[in-house]
Structure formats: C-alpha cells, structure tokens
Structure 1
C-alpha cells in the first residue's frame, strides 16, 4: 500500500517516474538456467544490506528460507531514529498489501466451509455498495469488481490517521460511482479487500484480528504476526521514515489501522511472512484446489496473490506499501525458497533491492551498487547545454532537464521532478530508481540506462 492511495506496487517500464516498481517481475533479466540455487552467499547479502544502510538508501530486514528452514535473517539500519534503536530480526513492520494474501486465504477457508462461493453476490452482505447485486466474491478477490479505490482520493488524506468504524467506511465507499462494470477489467482497488475483511468478520462473527489469529497465525505457527494498532516500540515495532532531501530521514505519517483492515493492517516480520508462504504452499492453510484458484493469474494478479517470476523461475507473492513501510514477499515453489524484504525507510527502489537479493540467492552475476556520493562538479556551460526537453523514438515519453544549482533535475511528462547527481563528465544518476544518463559529447542527446534497458533521448 502506498500513500496517497495506498497503491499496489505494479510492474511497468516507468520505474523512474518516482514510483516503486517490481522490476524483477517483468522477466527482463533473461531466461533462467536449469541449475538450482547453490550455497547461499550470506557474505554478499551482508555487504549489500550494509551498503544500503550505511549510505542511507534503506533500512529494514531480510529473511530467506529454504525447505522450511531460515537460512538467512538479517536486519539493517534503525527501527527508531530518536532515541536510536537498531533494527533486529525480531523487529516488526507494517506489511501493507501483503495483508491481502492473508485475507484471500481466509476467504478460501470460508469457501471450503461452504459459507460462501466465488459466485456469491456482494449484495448478500452489503447491498448498499454500488453494483452489489452483480459484483461477486471472485471479482473482489481478483480486483475486477469496479469498486472505486477509496484510498486513491485526496479526501482519504484527511482521515487516514483517524479511527474509522466499518459503517463509516462503507458509507464512504457507497458514495463513489463504480469505475467500471463488474468483470470488465482488472483495476487494483484497496476497497475490494477492505470489504472482504468485513465479510470475514460477518461470517465468522468475530473481529478480523481474531479471525487472523485463529485461521492463519495459529495454523501456520507464526510468532510475530497480528492485526496492527498504534505503533508501539515496546512490541518491537518499527517506525517509518521518509528521505529529507539532504541524505537523512524524517518521520513519515502513521495510518490508523482501522481503515486498511483486510487490505493492509497486518504487522509481521520477514521470517514470519516466509513461514506463512511456506505454510500456504504446503497445504496447511487451504486445499490444493483453493491454492490453484489463488494462483490463477490474469493481468498479473490472481486471487490475493501476484505472479512474481525471476529469470523464468515461477514465483508467487505480494508487495505492500503503507506510510514509509515497503515490503516484498515471494515464494519460488520449484526451489522451495521464500524471500521477504521489509523496510521502514527507503531512498532506493524496493524492486531493485529485491532484484539484487534474488540475484545473490540464485547465484547470478551481480555487483553491489556503488552508492558513494560523487565529488564531481560539472561546468556551468555543460549544464546549460544539457538543459532542455528530450524525446525518444523507443518509448512515448518526454523528459525535461532543468539546471538547478550545480546539477540538473529531470521531469518526465506528467510526473514530479527528481534530482540528478553528477558522476563524471556528461554522466548523471538517480540512485532511487537506478537511472543513469550519459550525454553525447557531440550530439544533443543522452542514453538513459536502467537495469538491462537503454533508451536514446534526443533534444527537441
């Protein structure tokens, strides 16, 4: 979940438009080899996480489990800035939309108990919601209902930190006209899973928090997973932070967890999320048939679960953003490998960080990025020459470069501007999205490099 809008991490080229993206989901890293993962290079993982924390790129925790055993569990950075409290492997993070996997599991448990079906109309529970007679449970699970995403509107920012009861949120959702007819298309909406959480409460006659404990936590043997409340450092819960713009961190907002509910209120640790994924795929939470329904993918999303491959290896999981927290969790059934990365501060794309981790876990060629600040100062005349608007024949996008102080800022069409850091003569970077721009000394053009992609932009 992400603010504003608690939006799903999505898979698209436009990573560098200031949004966190799952680069490794696109499969752009090539075709996988048949070799299984060998001995885990824990020293390289240590080096990567230490570099991220030392250079104020990220703080959080990473857990890697194989065959049901934790093979790597490492925290980096701080759980709290003032007074400073180092993060540990016991530190708990708000998991955002990873909650949706838990909610989907409980819905399928109720289906197996014959308390509802994928075809049950929403009107059975909440007839006041738009299109309730034609929306079915399947469409809520797969984000194909057309219910408007309440967290996508500016009004949400006015009440996100305040407690809300079910009746209030249902009233808010009832006011929005549907975005499209049920089943017409996929469009991620947190409203779907907030409503599913309410259905779990109605059918089970108990709060979501209690259902979570009974139906998932106890069955999977989780130790640090629960419905969150106000952040409490006495429970080893991390606070979240955002970049200051000067290389440091400042406190981020704190959403009241009464609103995200079944869409994003779970608090946990990476090791516990790994354990949850292992229990799910081992048949401890739902039947093989139900898991198959969850894994049926359309438009990149199944029913509460996302397709998350890496270099051709099939993977399943979910991402989550809420306030300054970001998490990614993925399970690779062929390798019986579960990996969860959770952060409470980031100035580096989470998808890239997870791609780094996966490259190490699967023993792919990988070099830890150099995050050291550059001391290179470009000439003012060069900055004047670089400034302008550029277009590419490869993608329908324009980028405007503006001289600011001793460097440049970049702004893509319809997006916010972001600063570029000078690296060397004609070379600039933006680490948060792993962008590198290389200007041609003879032509008014530059190469934009991001991951394995290179695009040529020419000044208009």
Structure 2
C-alpha cells in the first residue's frame, strides 16, 4: 500500500476537515503494533477512550468500546454509545443532496441561484462546487469571533447570513479550499427544496430507512442514555458548543452499530442508485469527492473522512473492494484517530 500517501491524506483530513476552532493540542499515544498481534490486543495497548469498529469482507472483526462514557461515572463505552461525528456528518449531507436529485427536485450541476435566487454569487456557484469545496465561499468556522458564535443558537438562515455577502476567495471551480460554509449552505438548500428541516430530512430519508435508531442531530434525541461526554486532550471537560452552529457541516451524532448499518447500505443500494454513488465518490480537486476524500493503495480505493468537534474526534474509512470498514470514535478532542485507523488497517494486512 502507498502508506505514505494514504497517511498524509488521512492526517490532512482529520486535522483540516473539521469544525473545531483550534486544536488545544493533539495527543498521539500510538505505539507500533507487533506482527501477529490481534486488533483487539493492539487497541487495548493504547491510551485511548472511545470506540473502534473493524469490518472485513463484510464481517465484523472488532466492535469495541474502551473507557468511560463519563469519566466521573462508571458506565463503560460500547457499540451503542453515541458520539458526536463532527465533519463525518458531511457524507450524510452529501447523500441527502443526491437523494433530492434522485427525486428530481434539484440538479447538482445547476447554479445555487436556481434554488436560492437571493444568494449573492449564486449564479456562478454550482451545488457541486459546494459539495466539493470549490465554491470560494469563506469558511465561517475560521472567523475570529467563532468562539462566541459557537456558544449561541443560530438558525440556518442566520448562519448563511454570516458569510453570504462576503467576497469569494476565488473563482468557483478553480481551487479547493475546505469550507464548512458550503455545507451549511447545502443544509439550508435541503430545507428550502424539501420543505422540511435538515434534521427531519436526514432522519426520515436516511436514519429511519436504515434503522439507525441511535443517530441524530446533536444528542438531544437520546436524553442521557449512553451519550459520550467529550474531553480536551488534557482531560478536562470540553467547552460547550450549540449544535445549531455546526449544522449540516458537523452536527450529527452516531454509534458504531449505526455506522455499520450506514456502510452496509452502500453495498445494497439501499438509498442511492449506482449512478448516484458514482457521483458521490468521484474525486474532484485535491481528491475530495462529495463528503468523502479519496485515496488509493494496496487495498484499492479508499473513501475516508475525519471529524473534529469540541471534545470529540472521529474517522471513518471504507475499502469497498474488500468490504472493509474502519471506524474510530474518540471522546477526546485531537486524538489521532486517523493514525489509529491507518495502524489498524496495516495490522489487518500484516495478519
């Protein structure tokens, strides 16, 4: 496998494709694995709090929780513990857009202005530009006052208003620049076109059909039932964030069991047609497709994405040619989840 290229890519997307303000520190306590060591033994050897799922040839190899849901309590993490996904949410937003296209309600090649006529520059920005981070719209999570913004409720329209009148950073389609703003605009577009909220659309069109019963918008859906508490890399409780702010760019939560159902749906064409899946995974600039980054190595093509949000780090990698899936969810901000996923993949290959 071209491990250098893959590792560079997964680290890039873990660190940059995120919603966090700034990392207070990134902790890497990964140790080399020993040949012949099981993935279970390797995970146990790490200083890690979270959950790991490994699927190979369509079968679950490891589904394991490590550590406590709340470090002040005694409840242990398991495959049904709910974690914030951060930017891993983007693949669900992208899928929602393609579902709307399948219904004939939009066309990703059309300009945003077709559906949002009052959006500035909407005549030169396509929906595909938003999906592939080539719109040129400034990233609102990099605004200097985002620390204040993050603690307050904002409606989708209020979020869009933060960046809609700003000048574009480049001509749409000419460059790649990761922008959470683009995915916020996609969420708003979903609401306008479908006539229901983003949360309701994702729930009724994706989570419910796939029986992803412990996935949702934020964590409010689940009360206090097995919800992971987030921590900084120094072990302190993470700062709060109003989940209306990450919105369609990163406000979803899920579990290992539900993400297994999500992965399985792509092999069954449960939601998207083959044509839509081809669009979803077709790489654009910087090898970024639609809510997924794309790499190639000894295991064939890899679709992956990282997420980072207050108190949580996440990473998901799909190896469709081997029906392999690796998911790492940590209730610690800045944990090297991409590096851990890469090590686990190497360990499987070595055995």
TM-score (norm 2): 0.85
Q: 2: distance between equivalents of 1:252 and 1:199?
A: 31
Aligned partners of 1:271 and 1:340 also within 8 Å: no
Cα RMSD (Å): 2.7
Matched, 1:273 2:259: yes
Aligned pairs for 1:93-104 (under 5 A) are 93-104=83-94
Checking the alignment, whether the CA contact within 8 Å between 2:94 and 2:291 is kept in structure 1 is: yes
Correspondence 1:425-436 to 2 at 5 A: none
Q: State yes or no: 1:215 paired with 2:205.
A: yes
- Is residue 202 of structure 1 aligned with residue 192 of structure 2? yes
Match of 2:23 in 1: none
Provide closer, same or farther for how the CA distance between residues 309 and 92 of structure 1 changes in structure 2, counting only shifts above 3 A.
farther
Please identify which structure carries the higher helix content: 2
By how many angstroms is 1:66 displaced?
A: 3.6
Q: Could you tell me which residue of structure 2 aligns to residue 406 of structure 1?
A: none
Question: 1:95, 1:18 → 2: CA distance?
Answer: 17
Max Rg structure: 1
Q: State the partner residue of 1:51.
A: 45
CA–CA distance in 2 between the matches of 1:86 and 1:80? 8
Contact 1:231 1:239 in 2 (8 A): no
Alpha-carbon spacing, 1:103–1:281, altered in 2? closer, same or farther (3 Å): farther
2:240 to 227, 243, 254: 254
- Unaligned stretches of 5+ in structure 1? 1-10, 23-40, 365-460
Q: Deviations 1:3-58 (Å, cap 9, x if unpaired)? A: xxxxxxxx89989x999559xxxxxxxxxxxxxxxxxx9972222222223xxxx3
Question: In the TM superposition, what whole-angstrom CA distance separates every residue of 1:202-239 from its partner, at most 9, and x where no partner exists?
Answer: 12111111111111112223232111145977221111
Following the alignment from structure 1 to structure 2, what is the Cα–Cα distance between the partners of residues 43 and 218? 38
Aligned to 2:102: 112
Larger relative contact order, structure 1 or 2 (CA cutoff 8 Å, min sep 6): 2
> How far 1:68 moved relative to its partner?
4.2
Aligned residue for 1:79?
69
Could you tell me whether the CA contact under 8 Å between 2:50 and 2:66 is conserved in 1? yes
2:315: which partner in 1?
328
In the alignment, is residue 305 of structure 1 matched against residue 292 of structure 2? yes
Q: 2:172 aligns with which of 162, 169, 182?
A: 182
8 A contact 1:242–1:250 mirrored in 2? yes
Would you say the 8 A contact 1:68–1:275 is kept in 2?
A: no
8 Å contact kept, 1:308–1:330 = no
Equivalent residue number for residue 149 of structure 1: 139
Larger % of strand: which?
A: 1
**Alpha-carbon distance in 2 for matches of 1:168, 1:86:** 38
CA distance in 1, matches of 2:61, 2:139: 38
**Can you give the 5+ residue segments of structure 2 that lack an aligned partner in the other structure?**
17-34
- Partner SS state of residue 187, structure 1: coil
Task: State the Cα distance separating 1:323 from its structure 2 match.
Answer: 1.1
Mapped contact 1:12–1:21 kept (Cα < 8 A): no
TM-score normalised by length of structure 1: 0.66
Return the alpha-carbon distance in structure 2 between the equivalents of residues 19 and 138 of structure 1. Answer: 19
2:282 equivalent among 252, 272, 296 = 296
Shift of 1:253: 1.7
Please name the residue that 1:236 is paired with: 226
Per-residue CA distance 1:341-369 (angstroms, 9 max, x = gap): 110116652222111111122235xxxxx
1:171-192 C-alpha deviation (Å, 9 max, x unpaired): 1112422111111111110111
CA distance, structure 1, for counterparts of residue 180 and residue 309 of structure 2: 12
Report how many residues are paired: 327
